[in-house]
Structure 1
Amino acid sequence: ALFVSLLPRAGTVIHRVAVSSDLRLCGFTCNKDGIYTLVGRVDILDYVCRDKSVHFNTLYESRLQMNVSAGCCIITNAQKSDTGKYLLQFQEFLKRKHLVQTTECFVIDPVSVTNISVRHNGENVSDSGETVSLSVSYSGEEATVVWAWNGGALPERHQLSDSNKTLTVPSTDTGTFTALVSNPVSHSSAQYNLTLPSKEAESQSYTGMIFGIISVLVVCVACGVVYWASKEGTD
């Protein structure tokens, strides 16, 4: 399962898990004889150490699993509605119930890159020539975007904007650009191969232009010959 755990202070655990993944809530050590109670918005389960029996709340029963050897309760197929605080309490026999651990859970959407779009900007007065803007599109939340050029870091002449979603580079900086999008529970990437216009295409375009000019000149000469011939015949 994809999750991140932090320990900001004693007795508190923070989990960030992806939507549809498993949420693990641990701490059922049973070092003493007693009963654990896991509480979220409602009481979720009771776990009896003596006989290792589990009593699930019917609201969660279809999504709950208990890993006795690991001392963990697993809530499967976590959804946004599972975001919140979970309290693990323990009551030793003939003693008062006390708090063992607090877990703060955040269920977030994983990131997924959909595409990289490209826009040619033409010449810019602050640059030596044409620039190209590459923009990455993605879904998900709490995302961070990092770009790479040919597998390495970006040079200073490459400009980032729109929270790093857009990268603007000189059109002559050809090669493979990679956009890596990540959040605490996932990562996704896409690549775009930037190339210069084909020399063959440029040559064909130039040849076509010359041929067009010659054709126009030939037509003009032919029209002139016909005109003067007809004029002499009239005279």
Structure 2
Amino acid sequence: MVKEVEQDEADGGMPGETFTDYRPSKLSIGPPHPDPIVETSSLSAVQPPEPTYVPKIKDELEYFKTLSCLQIETVVYASQRHLQHIPDGTRAGFFIGDGAGVGKGRTVAGLIWENWNNGRKKALWISIGSDLKFDARRDLDDMGASCIDVHALNKLPYTKLDSETVGVRDGVIFSTYSSLIASSSKGRSRMQQLVQWCGPGFDGLIIFDECHKAKNLVPEKNMKPTKTGKAVLDIQ
């Protein structure tokens, strides 16, 4: 009789015992991802929902192969989710939980390009550092979306962004979390500026990159919520 003993990874167990290779199970668009991607065995037992959304940029993606099949899967499911509304009437969001190296920035650029081709030509991209604006520019260029301008909010004056003097009519406004709670010496806030630019009929993307920076909206006992957490909630 052979006795099988389950081993933890710390005890020398092989990674293959707890992780499995990941491939989209219900979509066949796009080339394989350039790097191996895995998921836990427990997650692999859960079937994803049926994809019903057909991207406007589907033919372009298949021809130019700018996104891998994994990244296209995220674009499809995120776009599908954004068509839905939660019980209070607001539009549903989508959380991208991919690990490091999967290419979340390129995936986000794909989502912006998909929305652009659907007529939604304004987007907010909020991240942890202003230098990451150059990564956003690179990802959009790699998507073939060089026509979409990326505007660094910290380089713009505290006036109406779509005014004749500033001239930001569309594209991506790239902001940091700290800019969301910033204001000028005259009391003009970046938050008010962004809300005015988006307008009452805004239905574009708001991207919260590294969204853990907005933590502590609901603080522990005897503590106050952070200004950043409140700002992230308010802008939604």
* TM score, norm. by length of structure 2: 0.18
Q: Which has the larger radius of gyration?
A: 1
* TM score, norm. by length of structure 1: 0.18
Between Structure 1 and Structure 2, the one with more helix by share is: 2
Between Structure 1 and Structure 2, the one with more strand by share is: 1
